[in-house]
Amino acid sequence: MLNSLSGRFLILTVIFVMLAEVLIFVPSIARYREDYLLSRLERAQIASLALLADDMISPDLEEELLRNAEVFNVVLRRDEARQLMLSSPLPQPIHDTYDLRNAPAFELIRDAMIRLFDSEPRVIRVVGNPVREAGLLIEITMETAPLRMAMIDYGLRILVLSAVISAFTAVLLFMAVRVFLVRPIKGVIAHMQSYAANPEDARRIMTPVSSLRELREAEEALATMQTQLTSALKQKERLAQLGGAVAKVSHDLRNMLTSAQLFTDRIEMSEDPGVKRLAPKLVNSITRAVHLCESTLAFGKAEEPAPRLSRVYLADIVSDVVDSERLSVGDHDISFAEDVPATLQVRADAEQLYRVIFNLVRNARQAIAQSGEPGEISIHAEEDDARWLIRVADTGPGLPKKAREHLFTPFQGGATKGGSGLGLAIAQELIRGHGGELRLDFTGAEGTAFEISLPRGGAG
């Protein structure tokens, strides 16, 4: 129950109502004390009327009058003359005097609290105005023990009544919260659970029904979110089906194009000048088509496996990439520069890091080759306390505008003419799997540079 909203609301209600009652109790107990003292003044004034009617009364009658009034002495001031109307021996000296004429509220509350917590029996003097203006003032002396007992009895009755009111109020509020708040919330939860069981079923989307403004707003927001999620799931399913179809087509098309490559090898052997001139272009077109099919198949595979991290020499990986790309340079005037310390070790998956660097170097080589101008590709590496930094730069013509706008976006951010952009997208995914970052440092007429940043944190 304590873990439920209604249960906690019940407990808080009891606490707050009791706190309110305590705040009411303090002035109410002060008011009770004042009424108690005023009633004793009134009784004493009535008792003194017997003496006014008969100047001589017997001691027994005087004692009875004082006992009924619960006072020791009665002094009445009439016409500026102070008269001791009734008197009896005091059991102890007077402890304090309280003037009830125009007493401020704070003073009454303070005196009441002092009397309530002072358990010692005292004799006090009380001064007040006579009722019905029967004199200038009336003064009595009395014991505090009966007053304190009466205040305690009154306080206990107030506390019991407060507890009953608190419990009754809390139960009513508890029931109200369950009806107007908890039940609608449980309804929303039931709708959410039903929707979660089959989010693609549009019939399970919540229909706002609450009459409470705040809860209805929550229901409308939830319904909107469910509608958008259902649409997104349907679109995702269609895209997945489309992706599967594209992968199948790419697979079959790659096989066909591979066969076509074999035929182009024979075509290149032809002595016909026109065939010799067009054959290289045909070979390049088929090669690019095969590459696109292979990249599409690679991107459509399941998520890349987590990298198997180990300490590897970066210079060895860079050397393998450069040796492979030198074989593809052909007749183009392209040079390579390696600035990687032989002792530099990085914590990475060697195979995945090779794929990333190879992708960047290949893109740079293809860009320079397509420009028809000589160029250089440089690979630089350094380290600091926080990271390893690998920089792949070239002196090519720079990235086209479309590639810059959709960099790392599959099928849109191709860095070279005829490229698909899958290479950069896969490379970025691999570097992110290492907890690092692949970014474009700069591009322009003077060339292009990419930076790979790998974190050193947790390095073994």
Q: What SS3 state is found at 345?
A: strand
pLDDT value of residue 223: 85
Confidence of residue 249 (pLDDT cuts 50, 70, 90): low
Please determine, for residue 453, whether its predicted confidence score (pLDDT) is greater than 90: yes
Here the tokens at position 285 are: 């077109």
How many other β-carbons are positioned within 10 Å of the β-carbon of residue 376?
16
What is the DSSP code (8-state) at residue 416?
S
302 has pLDDT over 50: no
Which residues lie across from 440 on neighbouring strands? Answer: 450
pLDDT in tens, 165-183: 877 877 887 788 777 777 8
On the question of pLDDT at 19 being above 50, the answer is: yes
Distance, CA of 129 to CA of 256 (rounded, Å): 119
pLDDT beyond 90 at 253: no
Instruction: For residue 401, give the H/E element and its range.
Output: helix 401-405
Residue 345 has pLDDT above 90, yes or no: yes
Quote the CA–CA distance of 13 and 6 in Å, as a whole number.
Answer: 10
Domains and CATH numbers, the chain: 5-168 (no CATH), 213-297 (1.10.287), 307-455 (3.30.565.10)
Rounded distance between C-alpha atoms, residue 347 and residue 222, angstroms? 45
> Residue 227 has what pLDDT?
85
Q: Span 444-452, mean pLDDT?
A: 93
Q: Which strand ranges, in their side-by-side order, compose the sheet holding 375-383?
A: 334-339, 375-383, 387-394, 447-455, 437-444
The torsion of the CA quartet 29, 34, 39, 44, rounded to 10 degrees, works out to 140
Rg (CA), the chain: 49
d(CA 246, CA 235): 16
What contacts 73, CB < 8 A, 6 or more positions away? 66, 84, 86, 87, 88, 90, 139, 140, 141
* Cα 86 to Cα 74: distance, rounded to the nearest angstrom: 5
pTM surpassing 0.75? Answer: no
* pLDDT 10s digits, 79-133: 665 666 677 788 889 889 999 888 888 899 899 898 888 888 899 999 988 877 6
Pairing of strands 96-99, 123-128: parallel
Question: What is the SS3 assignment for 33?
Answer: helix
Q: What is the pLDDT of residue 449?
A: 95
For 425, the token pair is 């997208």
Least reliable range by pLDDT among 22-26, 137-141, 174-178, 265-269: 265-269
- Residue closest to 415 by CA, chosen among 364, 376, 375: 364
Amino acid at 7: G
The pLDDT assigned to 180 comes to 76
Spatial distance between the Cα atoms of 369 and 416, rounded to a whole number of angstroms = 10
d(CA 154, CA 41): 20
CA torsion 9-10-16-20 (nearest 10°) is: 140
When the pLDDT of each residue in the chain is averaged and rounded to a whole number, the result is 79
Alpha-carbon torsion, ordered 193, 198, 203, 205, to 10 deg: 50
Which residue type sits at 238? R
Average of pLDDT values for 213-237?
81
For residue 460, the model assigns a pLDDT of: 46
Residues of the chain with pLDDT > 70, as a percent, come to 75
With left for phi above 0 and alpha for psi between -120 and 50, is residue 159 left, alpha or beta?
alpha
First to last CA, the chain: 51
Q: pLDDT digit string (tens) for 1-16?
A: 556 666 777 777 777 7
Pairing label, strands 447-455, 334-339: unpaired
